[in-house]
Chains A and B, each alone.
Chain A
Amino acid sequence: MDDVRALIIDDSFVMRKIVERSLRQAGIDLAEVWEARNGVEGLGALRRSAVDLILCDIYMPVMDGIEFLRQLQGVPNAEGVPVVVITAESRESHVAQALLIGARGYIRKPFTAEQVKEHVLPLLAETR
């Protein structure tokens, strides 16, 4: 998969780098990567730039992943862009909620590059 533009939203710098590396290890050629520390920054990044994929943590300060998903609706650059949530928490209620309001996938930490590939590649294939 070539020239993918990804937005990675996580309050942890280390996790953002791990997610980016996992995408590359999954064979995804990243043309551009935007990083955001919370949902507010993520929405700001989307207003400035078009992306092909969004990977988003759930628990973040300022604006969490659930609220980010809610506010994503109506953002022009987000239309049709798959969002995959990544979290160490597995509460079914939160995962179900995320999927209900627009997330297309869910990856539980810890994860391998192979798991990222399994979740992300089919979504990119659908939309590109």
Chain B
Amino acid sequence: MKQAEQPAAAAANSPESLRPLLQLASQEVFEMMLGCQVELRNPPAPAPFEFTAMVGFAGQLCGCFRLRSSRQSAAVMACKMLGAQLNHDDPQIWDAIGEMANMIAGNFKNKIVGLENRCMLSLPTVITGSDYKCRAMKDSYLLEVALLFEGAPVTVQVEIHS
């Protein structure tokens, strides 16, 4: 696994400079918790993402983290985490994608030097359905990393407000 050579310093960085940290944070969680390599996919492919897990950042880094996937991919994540087969409507799927979001968001935050005590994470929230829009707050910046997980697209996003 590729390790971050030097975590970024929080205050001095532009949002775009955090992209490699978001990529690495995501790849590490998929590899360590699911035993899967995920590939970067650029540009992002349009996909019917039915599951969105969100974690809020508050403090020096203020914004929202989102992990988006299809129902099938969310079910595969849950199966890999539990080491068991699940039905596609099993409630553990919500739990699993919420925990994945929590770990990726935490791992991302932990890679930004100086942020440890200056940023808090919310508990994850998982929503289902794709017929919604996120209205960005004024001056927010959207970092998006598209991944290929078990051949299916998955997206991680950080909307940075400040």
Contact = CB atoms under 8 A, between A and B. Distances in A.
A87 B96 CA distance: 15
Between A14, A18, A109, A111, the greatest number of chain B beta carbons within 10 A of the residue's beta carbon is seen for A14
B103 A91 contact: no
Interface of B: 28-29, 32-33, 78, 81-83, 92, 95-96, 98-99, 102-103, 105-107, 109-110, 116-117, 120-121, 123
Contact of B107 (A17, A92, A110): A110
Contacts of A109: 33, 102-103, 106-107
Nearest to A115: B32
27 contacts: A12-B98, A12-B99, A14-B78, A14-B81, A14-B82, A14-B95, A14-B99, A17-B83, A18-B81, A88-B103, A88-B105, A88-B106, A88-B107, A88-B121, A89-B120, A90-B106, A90-B110, A91-B117, A92-B116, A92-B117, A93-B117, A109-B106, A110-B29, A110-B32, A110-B107, A111-B32, A112-B32
B67 to A, nearest CB: 13
A47 B87 CA distance: 36
A34 interface: no
Determine chain B's interface SS by DSSP, over half rule. helix
A70 interface: no
Nearest to A21: B83
Interface in A3-50: 12-15, 17-18, 21
Contacts of B81: 14, 17-18
Interface of A: 12-15, 17-18, 21, 59, 87-93, 108-112
A20 B107 CA distance: 21
Contacts of A15: 99
Given A15-B99, A88-B105, A110-B28, A59 B123 contact: yes
A111 B33 CA distance: 7
A108 B110 CA distance: 10
A91 B99 contact: no
A24 B50 CA distance: 34
Contacts of B116: 90-92
Contacts of A91: 116-117, 120
A119 to B, nearest CB: 15
B32 A12 contact: no
